[in-house]
Amino acid sequence: EVQLLESGGGLVQPGESLRLSCAASGFAFSSYDMSWVRQAPGKGLEWVSVISDSGDRIYSADSLKDRFTISRDNSKSTLYLQMRSLRVEDTAMYFCARWANGELPVPFDHWGQGTLVTVSS
């Protein structure tokens, strides 16, 4: 069974940094592209970033790429999101999600339950 377990969320002050982790199990993590998606309280989904299976290709939302960095450690089956200079508006549930393999990769066929990041003074 595919499992994605996010961790690392919490309460931080504006300007601080935080690193989120997503531990994957139940599939060959190193063979799948992975993403982060966030959702502010009561708001819609917002795509954050995607990283290829080997980590050699990364795309991030233009509005976030200067502060947020996606990475992965295939030896640990873990996805990361390094967030810097956090702002109040970064308060959200952060989900990691898998891309399914196929003739064309299918985005977000499995999701974690999310980790909540609250940015407040």
By the criterion CB under 8 A, which residues form the site for other proteins?
35, 37, 44-47, 50, 59, 61-63, 95, 104, 106-109, 111-114
> Least distance (Å) from other proteins to the CB of residue 60?
9
Residue nearer to other proteins on the CB measure, 27 or 111: 111
Residue nearer to other proteins on the CB measure, 23 or 61: 61
Residue nearer to other proteins on the CB measure, 7 or 59: 59
In whole angstroms, give the CA distance from residue 48 to residue 96.
Answer: 10
In whole angstroms, give the CA distance from residue 28 to residue 51.
Answer: 15
Cα torsion 44, 5, 36, 105: sign: negative
Q: Which helix (H) or strand (E) holds 83?
A: strand 78-83
> Least distance (Å) from other proteins to the CB of residue 106?
5
Under 8 Å between Cβ of 92 and 41: yes
> Least distance (Å) from other proteins to the CB of residue 75?
26
